[in-house]
Amino acid sequence: MSMYRLNPIRSSFLIPALILILIFVVYPIFATIMISFNINVVPGVDITNKPPSLYNYYKVVTDERFINLEGIKTHTFPMGAIVHNIIWLAIHLPLTLIIGILFAVYLQYVKGGSIIRSFIFIGMVIPMIVGGLLISFSFDKDLGVVNILLKAVGLGSFVKTWTIYPDTALFSLILGSVWLWSGFTVTMYSAGLSSIPREVIEAAIVDGADFKTILFKVIIPLLKPVTLTVVAMTILWDLKIFDIVYAATQGGPGGASTVLALLMYEYFARLGDYAMSATVATILTIIIIPVVVLWIKATLHGERK
Taking the C-alpha atoms of residue 170 and residue 75, their distance in angstroms, rounded to an integer, is: 13
**Whether residue 273 has pLDDT greater than 80:** yes
Could you read off the pLDDT of 52-93 as tens digits, one per residue? 889 999 999 999 999 999 999 999 999 999 999 999 999 999
Q: Average pLDDT for residues 275-290, to the nearest whole number?
A: 91
Q: Is residue 65 part of a domain?
A: yes
Confidence band for 193, pLDDT divided at 50, 70 and 90: confident
What burial letters (b/e) apply to 15-50, b meaning 16+ CB within 10 Å? Answer: eeeeeeeeeeeeeeeebbbbbbbbbbeeeeeeebee
Q: What is the DSSP string of 48-114?
A: --SPSSSHHHHHHHT-TTT--HHHHHHT-S---HHHHHHHHHHHHHHHHHHHHHHHHHHHHTSTTHH
- The predicted structure's pLDDT at residue 215: 86
- The predicted structure's pLDDT at residue 1: 47
Q: Average pLDDT for residues 242-256, to the nearest whole number?
A: 91
- Calculate ∠ Cα 249-92-223, nearest 5°: 150
**Whether residue 2 has pLDDT greater than 60:** no
Could you read off the pLDDT of 116-152 as tens digits, one per residue? 877 888 877 888 889 889 999 999 988 888 999 998 8
In whole angstroms, how far apart are CA 1 and each of 4, 6, 45?
A: 6, 10, 49
Q: Is residue 270 part of a domain?
A: yes
- The predicted structure's pLDDT at residue 74: 92
Q: Is residue 23 part of a domain?
A: no
Range of the domain at 102: 53-303
**Whether residue 6 has pLDDT greater than 80:** no
Q: Is residue 29 part of a domain?
A: no
**Whether residue 94 has pLDDT greater than 60:** yes
Taking the C-alpha atoms of residue 286 and residue 296, their distance in angstroms, rounded to an integer, is: 16
- What is the chain's length? 305
Q: Is residue 24 part of a domain?
A: no
Task: Count CA atoms within 13 Å of residue 74 on its CB side.
Answer: 9
Q: Is residue 20 part of a domain?
A: no
- The predicted structure's pLDDT at residue 4: 54
Confidence band for 305, pLDDT divided at 50, 70 and 90: low
- The predicted structure's pLDDT at residue 72: 93
Q: Is residue 166 part of a domain?
A: yes
Which CATH number is 148's domain given?
1.10.3720.10
How many CB atoms are closer than 10 A to CB 274?
Answer: 15
Cis before 253? omega within 30: yes
**Whether residue 51 has pLDDT greater than 60:** yes
- The predicted structure's pLDDT at residue 280: 93
Taking the C-alpha atoms of residue 177 and residue 171, their distance in angstroms, rounded to an integer, is: 10
Which has the closest alpha carbon to 59: 241, 289, 263?
Answer: 263
Asked if residue 10 lies in contact with residue 3, where contact means CB atoms within 8 angstroms, the answer is no
Q: Is residue 215 part of a domain?
A: yes
**Whether residue 232 has pLDDT greater than 60:** yes
- Calculate ∠ Cα 23-27-29, nearest 5°: 130
Give the number of domains in the chain. Answer: 1
- Of all residues in the chain, the percent with pLDDT exceeding 70 is 97
